[in-house]
């Protein structure tokens, strides 16, 4: 089991980055033409990926982070250690509000949320920075 800290070895960051970039290329975004990939590192050291999938009936699409979390749960894990999101464009992509809440279900507040593009790493946050004073499982008596 991995510790829930914000310290990630460089080789782990590289693994997440490569996985998220590859997932982004498989995104389905015919309406926005904005592809996003996400990679989630679970507490067992496994990487799970997702890509955005748009739908003509906006906003019924699926975010990359939600897809990666779903893949993690399918693989038998419910604890995420870190997340890396890759997008394109002039600004760094961070998880949307809905995905921040989804991440809160599986991540500790200090979990690192990293951003990147096709060519470079971007800002690094904790989940608590992106979703301060969040509502989570502990409010319902769960660990």
Task: Reply yes or no on whether 105 is catalytic.
Answer: no
Give the position of tokens 């890759």: 86
| Strands of 1-143, DSSP E | 37-42, 47-51, 80-86, 112-116, 121-126
Sign of CA dihedral 54, 60, 65, 71: negative
Q: For the chain, what percentages of helix, strand and coil (3-state, to nearest 5) are there? A: 30, 25, 45
Give the span between the Cα atoms of 104 and 137, in whole angstroms.
8
First to last CA, the chain: 16
- Of 54, 60, 65, 110, the catalytic one is 65
Catalytic residues: 65
């Amino acid at each position: 089991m991995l510790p829930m800290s914000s310290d990630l070895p460089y080789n782990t960051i590289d693994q997440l980055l490569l996985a998220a970039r590859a997932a982004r290329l498989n995104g389905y975004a015919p309406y926005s033409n904005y592809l996003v990939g996400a990679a989630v590192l679970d507490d067992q050291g496994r990487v799970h990926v997702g890509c955005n999938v748009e739908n003509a009936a906006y906003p019924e699409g699926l975010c990359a982070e939600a897809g990666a979390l779903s893949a993690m749960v399918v693989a038998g894990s419910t604890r995420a250690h870190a997340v890396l999101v890759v997008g394109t464009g002039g600004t760094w992509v961070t998880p949307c509000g809905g995905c921040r809440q989804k991440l809160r279900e599986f991540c500790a507040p200090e979990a690192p949320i990293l951003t990147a593009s096709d060519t470079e790493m971007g800002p690094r946050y904790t989940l608590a920075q992106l979703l301060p004073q969040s509502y989570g499982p502990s409010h319902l008596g769960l660990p």
